[in-house]
Amino acid sequence: MNRISIQKIGAIFGLLLVSSTFVGLGIWQLDRAVEIRNPPMIATAVVPLNSVTKPSIAMPAGATLRHVSVRGRFIRSLQAPHQVDGLGKESIWDVGLLQVDEGGIFLVVRGLWSQRMPISPAENIELVGILMPHQSDDYVETSPGVLRRLDSALIVEQTSQELYDGYLIAESEKINGVANNRVRISPPAPRSAVPGFYWQHLSYVVIWWFMAALVLYLPFYQRRVSSDGDGAADKSGKMSGDAEREVLNG
């Protein structure tokens, strides 16, 4: 196999590699568009909290929106202003710091701040709720007794215990075995973890696949340009030869 053949094979391999990369990027963007259109599936079975997440670690992706049960004691209440529930209603939420029996502190949204109840560390609490990821955006300025967002990172200096990532929206609560029938917060509608918009990702699909087609067409375009150039050169040479013969004959 001569050197020219090796160069051709290398060029073909490079073109296929680049075009397949563009096709793969297009498929990836198409999958992300589908993920945005299809809401995440929520498991309805109630499982123990420590079976899906642990303190001092980031909440696993599979733990988000899971329904869990947990036991412990409330040690403090904080307010979280300007929170919006699943019905689109804005209010101040009552957030309790739950000392979990197995260890660690967990943020629990118990209900509305206006309906808060006195807490006692002597009360045994049994909760069932839905896990939510921690919030990233601040809603208010920092002040005593106020959470500017629902994020356990904000209470690191308030306790020496390990903290759970995320927070729990309580769906039912028992205090010393007695049901606490206060108004509960409707969990915000689950959103796709994929950033961006549906049509935005589809536009990326078109762009990446167009790039793949362009890369595959490039060799044919170069061959066509070379052929046109050779034809023009031959035609120019022929015309020059005819002109020389006319001068000689004249």
Q: How many other C-beta atoms lie within 10 A of the C-beta of residue 221?
A: 10
Mean pLDDT lowest among 26-30, 98-102, 162-166, 234-238: 234-238
Q: What is the Cα–Cα distance from 73 to 173, expressed in whole angstroms?
A: 12
The pLDDT, as a whole number, for residue 61 is: 79
Q: Identify which of 85, 63, 80, 79 has the alpha carbon closest to the alpha carbon of residue 165.
A: 63
pLDDT band at 176 (very low <50, low <70, confident <90, very high): very high
How does DSSP assign the chain, residue by residue? Answer: --HHHHHHHHHHHHHHHHHHHHHHHHHHHHHHHHHHHSPPP---SEEEGGGT--TTSPPPGGGTT-EEEEEEEEEEEEEEEEEE-TTS-EEEEEEEEEEETTS-EEEEEEEEGGG-----TTS-EEEEEEEEPPP-S--S--BTTB-SSS-GGGGGGG-SS-EEEEEEEEEEEEETTEE--PPPPPPPPP--SS-S-HHHHHHHHHHHHHHHHHHHHHHHHHHHHHHHHHHHHHHHHHHHHHHHHHHHH-
Residue among 198, 201, 167 at smallest CA distance from 185? 167
- Residue 247's pLDDT is 46
Assess whether pLDDT exceeds 50 at residue 29: yes
What would the pLDDT profile of 30-84 be if each residue is shown by its tens digit?
A: 887 777 776 666 667 899 999 999 999 999 878 888 999 999 999 999 999 999 9
What pLDDT, on a 0 to 100 scale, did the predictor assign at position 177? 92
Q: How confident is the model at residue 172 (pLDDT cuts 50, 70, 90)?
A: very high
> What is the rounded CA–CA span in Å between residue 4 and residue 175?
82
Distance between alpha carbon 101 and the CA centroid of its chain, in Å? 32
Q: 84 — phi, psi (to 5°)?
A: -115, 125
Instruction: Work out the percent of the chain whose per-residue pLDDT is above 70.
Output: 83
Instruction: State the average pLDDT for the chain.
Output: 84
Token pair of 200, please?
């935005």
For the four alpha carbons of 164, 148, 184 and 120, in that order, the dihedral sign comes to positive
Judged by average pLDDT, the poorest of 24-33, 49-58, 125-134, 142-151 is 24-33
Say how many CA atoms lie within 13 Å of 241 toward its Cβ.
Answer: 6
Phi, psi of 143 (to 5 degrees): -155, 160
* Closest residue by Cα to residue 79 from 138, 170, 146: 146
Residues 198-239: tens digit of each pLDDT: 778 888 889 988 888 888 888 777 777 777 665 555 555 555
Q: Tokens at residue 71, please?
A: 């036991």
CB distance 192 to 36 below 8 Å: yes
